[in-house]
Structure 1
Amino acid sequence: MTEGEQEEAWLTEAGLATLFDESATDGEDSIVFLSTLTRTQAAAVQRRVETLNQTLRKRNKPHSVPDVRDIFKPSSSSENTADVTSPERSLGDTPEVQTLGNGAGPEAQGGGADNETDINLEVSFSEQALIYKEGLKVAQPRREADDRLPDFKVSQDKTGQTRAGDLSTEDMKKVRRLVVIEMSALFDTCGIEMKTHKALKMKVKESGLFGVPLPTLLEQDQRRIPGTKVPLVLQHLMSHIEEQGLDIEGVLRIPGAATRVKSVCQEMEQKFYDGMFPWESLKQHDAASVLKLFIRELPFPLLTVEYFTAFLSVLKLPTKKQQLQALNLLVLLLPEHNRDTLKALMEFFQSVIDHKDKNKMTLNNVAVVMAPNIFMCKGFRNKISEQEEFAMATGTANIVRLLIRYQNLLWTIPKFILNQVRKQNTENQRKMNRDRAVKKLLKKMTHDREKTSDKPEKNTEAEGFIRVQAPQFSMVSMAVQLTDDLKASDVLTRFLTQERSVTVKREDLCLFETGGNIKERCLDEETYIRALLELNPSAELVLKSVNHAQG
């Protein structure tokens, strides 16, 4: 993209197109959104707006982009707009920085080497990078070779971890906007330029198995099995290897015979959806070659054209921890079908590695073998020379190593992002309540005052009980005593004990947090209910069966 196009595309993806296009509508209150940004996030927005203004001046175009001082000036329309980051304040005096200064967490202290492996999900990654850059972090980064990667520790959050896919569509849209800004803020803070790219325009197949775009492939799979999240052909290939090939030496590394692999692909195209493909005769090395071919033949890369270069730039970040933080954000930026498919592949690679004593496929071996398939997609190979491809090999293998090794961390939504979403929802709700109150005054309606109150109703009943809703089941609600150590897992156990007629499996049952400052969130089983209700006092707890099926 040219200068100016980059900034316009970035602002659009961040949900801030109204800053340069008055006709744009994103359905969100930009003032409320901007009020939740940290100083580094605000600085990232400022940088793009200023660059766009300069570009428009050079081109002698009408100057329609507002000045950053107007964008970040405090507003009296919201109670919390004192936190809106002005250009001056964005460089030092936000609540997040004050928290850091008060010593909230290991990143604020810059202390001993043990902190090198502590992952802080409560403070913005770009803020942590700024603290590191300013010299408060004294320990030097260590380079790890082969399979020897550190065990990064994430402190237990009593309100529970949130995985990609646990939130409602509305809240995930907010997450994505914040992640776009946080990702750029992290790279900006580290002095690394991150460019995105336009999607490739090419003719693509509209049906079949190989060389078909992921959305098209999943659409045809979902017509057969609703809820499919990972292409069925890929699932079958991985399952075939897991069932019979994990102990075979060199699985994934030793290729199948080229003529046989070509024949297998042709037969799959003809017989897969009819259920007539002879899986029992498929050799394991051939299956692995077909799996790699499937990934390579995707017309658009699994890591997307837009963020392909950003993935390659991750290793420029100065510490392993910052590289993981960047990967975490990039994974969250992937479209849902890419993210789910990539996760299924990483889980499969880990299964292969778990049998390394027999198959000799260590983390490093798997990464070296699979990186070229993930990073050398069909459309991208035409744009790169063999020499460039060779130079990329080591770096891409290191990125795949990180994706496999830390997949449980990389597919989670950092708490600081989720807290920003909660702030947005709270402010939007307050604004709606005020609007309702004004309308009711105009209509001289004084009833239903509770709905217009800014004070949330606590989800607690007399004598320390809470009520859990279960609308899908015969026992539509259940009273549970609220104690300090009550977890979501305890609620699930209690329900399954009392609901005798339930046929849903434990792993397909989830306790949801709904309402208040979140639309809907599936809770992990280690969530402490009291801590959650302190964070979101007006939340309802709802039990639902969920579809975890990938096919």
Structure 2
Amino acid sequence: MLEDFHSPQYTSSNTDLESLGRTPPAARHATRNKHKDEPVFGRKLEEVCPATSPRVPDFVVACVKEIESSEENMCTDGLYRASGNLSQVQKIRLEIDQNNLSVMENNTDIHVLTGSLKLFFRELKEPLIPCSMFDRVLAACSIKPREAKIKEFRDIVQALPQCNRDTLKYLLEHLLRVTQYSERNRMHTANLAIVFGPTLLWAPAEQAHNIAIDCIQQNNVVDILLNDFKEIFTEDNPKGKKKA
């Protein structure tokens, strides 16, 4: 599944190297120029989520809906892996910060939309899977047997703030729909995990971690969340509760 990453097409400037974990978000955040908070990008997740369920940012919902609006979009080769034009991504960022969600409907480059969505998650002040859970979620990947690992992931998800849990679930459901077109877009679960591992979780800035090892483990987290999604996010019939 991963051999596509080594083809010339995806080692060119069209590859979103940042998505592949080459640049740790924590380091980037430490050096980012912070003049003032933007209305949408670069905020805390809870600040841009609606007050009622499901607590998923309007931008994330609108962007995902636009990406899923046509089969042509979903079949695009290298969806989420290839990078969009940076200036166009920044243009969308500026428009979204001015509450102009319609800018996405007028965009013809699918990679600009996917790039904007990835940028939103990278720029969050706190990652979607909070830094406080970084070590716990990485350790969960190594738990055996599988049933115990799934239980720990389920407990971690349930411990997330509602806006994080709702948004993570919404995003993973979208990515699973992307994999349904993997024969065309070549974005299997493992490839999406490589893209989204360092985008959805990263270590606290003060922790001195081995970045290379972290990236592999971050990918593993997303891979497990996708492959075992139904069991991890099941909320039906919790143990000890009778069905209605």
Note whether the superposition's TM-score is higher than 0.5.
Answer: yes
Residue 309 in 1 paired to residue 135 in 2? yes
Once the two structures are superposed, the pairs formed by residues 78-157 of structure 1 within 5 Å of their partners are none
Relative distance call for 1:411 and 1:228 in structure 2 (3 A) is: closer
Q: Greater helix share, 1 or 2?
A: 2
Distance in structure 1 (CA, Å) of the matches to 2:235 and 2:102: 41
Paired position in structure 1 for 2:78: 250
Q: What SS class does the counterpart of residue 392 from structure 1 fall into?
A: helix
- Note if contact 2:66-2:104 (Cα within 8 Å) is conserved in structure 1: no
Measured in 2, the distance between the counterparts of 1:320 and 1:285 equals 36
What is the rounded CA distance, in whole Å, between the counterparts of 1:204 and 1:334 in structure 2? 30
Asked which structure has the greater CA Rg, the reply is: 1
- Show CA shifts across 1:124-168 (max 9, x none): xxxxxxxxxxxxxxxxxxxxx98xxxxxxxxxxxxxxxxxxxxxx
Q: For residue 30 of structure 2, what is the aligned residue in structure 1?
A: none
| Cross-structure match for 2:59 | 233
Q: 1:371 aligns with which of 174, 180, 197?
A: 197
Q: Which residue of 2 aligns with 1:341?
A: 167
**Partners of 1:373 and 1:360 in 2: CA distance:** 20
| Residue equivalent to 1:65 | none
Deviation at 1:412, TM superposition (A): 2.4
- Take 1:414 and 1:229, find their aligned partners in 2: how far apart are those partners? 19
Does the CA contact (< 8 Å) of 1:296 and 1:373 recur in 2?
Answer: yes
**Is the 1:204–1:212 Cα contact (8 Å) retained in structure 2?**
no
Q: Secondary structure at the match of 2:103?
A: coil
Distance in 1 (alpha carbons) for counterparts of 2:141 and 2:35: 32
Deviation at 1:243, TM superposition (A): 1.3
Cα deviation code 1:231-266 (max 9, x no counterpart): 010111111111131010001000112222222211
Distance 1:204 1:330 in 2: 34
Tell me the residue number matched to 2:115: 289
Q: 1:281 to 1:207 in 2, by over 3 A?
A: closer
User: Counterpart in 2 of 1:326?
Assistant: 152
In structure 2, do the counterparts of structure 1 residues 204 and 313 end up closer, same or farther at CA, with 3 Å as the change threshold? Answer: farther
Identical counterparts, % of pairs: 23
C-alpha deviation, 1:383, in angstroms: 3.7
1:150-165 aligned at under 5 Å gives the runs none
In the alignment, does 2:108 pair up with 1:277? no
Structure 2 unaligned segments of length 5 or more: list them. 3-33
Q: Which residue of 2 aligns with 1:351?
A: 177
Given that 1:252 and 1:369 are in contact with CA atoms closer than 8 Å, whether structure 2 keeps it comes out as yes
Distance 1:390 1:290, change over 3 A: same
> Shift of residue 278 of structure 1?
5.0
Q: Deviations over 1:359-390 (max 9, x none)?
A: 0111111111111101237xx3x4466x8222
198, 207, 213: which one aligns with 1:391? 213
CA distance, structure 2, for counterparts of residue 213 and residue 271 of structure 1:
17
Counterparts of 1:228 and 1:294, CA distance in 2: 18
Pick closer, same or farther for the CA change 1:367–1:305 going to 2, 3 Å. Answer: same
Which of residues 46, 69, 83 in structure 2 aligns to 1:215? 46
Match for 1:259: what amino acid?
S
| Contact 2:44-2:124 within 8 A present in 1 as well | yes
Displacement of 1:347: 0.1
Secondary structure of the corresponding residue to residue 74 of structure 2: coil
- C-alpha RMSD of matched pairs (Å): 2.8
AA matched with 2:63: L
Give yes or no for contact 1:371–1:397 (8 Å, CA) kept in 2. yes
Cα contact 2:77–2:185 (8 A) shared by 1: yes
Q: CA deviation at 1:409?
A: 1.2
Q: Deviations over 1:165-185 (max 9, x none)?
A: xxxxxxxxxxxxxxxxxxxxx
Q: Cα 1:340–1:276, aligned 2, differ >3 Å: closer, same or farther?
A: closer
Question: Whose strand fraction is larger, Structure 1's or Structure 2's?
Answer: 1
TM-score (norm 1): 0.35
Deviation at 1:323, TM superposition (A): 1.6
Q: Which runs of 5+ in 1 are unaligned?
A: 1-144, 147-202, 423-512, 514-526, 533-551
SS of the aligned residue for 1:230 comes to coil
Preserved CA contact (<8 Å) 1:311 1:327: yes
Alpha-carbon distance change, 389 to 276 in structure 1, aligned in 2, over 3 angstroms:
same
Deviations for 1:245-294, whole angstroms, at most 9, x for unmatched residues?
1010001000112222222211221242xx55252224110111111111
Question: Does the CA contact (< 8 Å) of 2:85 and 2:112 recur in 1?
Answer: yes
Contact 1:296 1:376 in 2 (8 A): no
User: What are the superposed Cα offsets for residues 23-57 of structure 1, whole Å, 9 maximum, x if unpaired?
Assistant: xxxxxxxxxxxxxxxxxxxxxxxxxxxxxxxxxxx
The separation in 2 between residues aligned to 1:342 and 1:319, in whole angstroms, is 25
Letter in structure 2 aligned against 1:287: L
Query: Which 4+ stretches in 1 moved above 3 angstroms?
Result: 203-207, 382-385
1:255 and 1:289 in contact (8 A); partners too: yes
Q: Note closer, same or farther for the CA distance 1:228–1:205 as it changes in structure 2 (3 Å cut).
A: farther
Question: More relative contact order in 1 or in 2 (CA 8 Å, sep 6+)?
Answer: 2
Q: Distance in 2 between matches of 1:249 and 1:349?
A: 14
Instruction: Quote the offset at 1:413 in angstroms.
Output: 4.3
Look up the equivalent residue of 2:40 and give its one-letter code: L
